[in-house]
Structure 1
């Protein structure tokens, strides 16, 4: 990982609130009592640094009930076996870290994106990026787009539109968990695959396949998805994945 770019990423992800109805804060904004969400700071660390915070990072209303969710204390960049792993709460931040990987020369254009999730996350964004891969975008542009235009369901199509990836493989059925890859990939994991009631195959088999794909990955992004899975449970399975 390019140290200069990572330092810039840390300066951007310093811990801040989103108070306007944009990005992840737009969901049911007019009806909500909680009008702001927190985006945690980024740090370098290991799994032990992935901890639950006490700030609300996502709010939605379902069947008339408001559900504020707390997320992570920090986003963590973990150099694992000489490959970057980024761990964060809301899934749209994957877009930023994919582009950070690209700008650092780790993610080469036209790799395959393997998206392991109980959701497809291929909703249409409100707008596509105004930047392209060539000339390389400014990291501030990527940050602003990620946080103020994308949400947890709209971050994949913009990456495909930029031609950052050659193909998208969504893994959310038992058949797709049987796929193997012979070429390098970018691996994107949503820990909500371990949420109660979401199982399409046995959890230990999921871990076995995810570990196999980790070996093929040049960069790994992992979302703890506070709205879709209890965060203590998410961190339990995160540690299980890497407890090899």
Structure 2
């Protein structure tokens, strides 16, 4: 059963918790998942993330659909807010798409290693994983629960010039946040980032990709996404 069918989060939970009391916009949207290709990755008219920054309320539109995409017989999941990766890791592990305990390669402007308020005890029940992903986790704290459950033995974070030069061996899941291409990360060559990501995709057991609406212009993020798979 697929749990991503499109819904709003109205309470101050998950990604809707940020600056909730200060905001005029009190609701964010989580889109449905569908099988598709890169042409199906489109912007929605719904707000996926909202926060008050320096006294200004900033709202960001997310994707129309989350996409399950086959690339060279490999599963690729494309979504907007990054915490959804947790659900797709659990779903993929349950479907034997990767071996439990392999490495996680996390390419991101941010480390996303904050502590969640609570930890889920197992991932056997995908409905519970779905609820935990959407109502407990947020864009900054979804990796530690995966490590705590033993989904991955370790995480290698690629967020610097030095990290992009690392040689990665063995089996791994590749997790990409497209905000690595944001202006704040322009000190790392675009070509270095693009070439490394393409190389790692070829070697990965599974690929998860976040477009991160609050942290990078989404039209630009989608154009970069399409180049990654060109």
**Shorter-chain TM-score tier:** over 0.9
8 Å contact kept, 1:91–1:152 = yes
Q: Residue 35 of structure 2 corresponds to which residue in structure 1?
A: 44
| Cα displacement string for residues 51-93 of structure 1 (whole angstroms, at most 9, x for unaligned residues) | 1111001000001100011010000000111110000000000
- Aligned pairs (5 A) from 1:102-181: 102-129=93-120, 131-133=121-123, 137-181=124-168
> 2:212 matched to 1:225?
yes
| Cα displacement string for residues 202-227 of structure 1 (whole angstroms, at most 9, x for unaligned residues) | 11110100011111111000000000
The answer for unaligned runs of 5 or more in structure 1 is 1-7
SS in 1 for 2:25: coil
Q: What's the TM-score, normalizing by structure 1?
A: 0.93
> 2:12 matched to 1:13?
no
Q: Out of 191-200 and 19-28, give the one that drifted further.
A: 191-200
Q: Residue 210 of structure 1 corresponds to which residue in structure 2?
A: 197
> 2:119 matched to 1:95?
no
- Give the RMSD, CA atoms, in angstroms: 0.8
| Cα displacement string for residues 122-166 of structure 1 (whole angstroms, at most 9, x for unaligned residues) | 00001111x325xxx111010000000000000000000001101
Runs (4+) of structure 1 exceeding 3 A deviation are none
Distance 1:121 1:182 in 2: 23
Distance 2:98 2:135 in 1: 24
SS in 1 for 2:5: coil
The Cα shift of 1:197 comes to 2.5
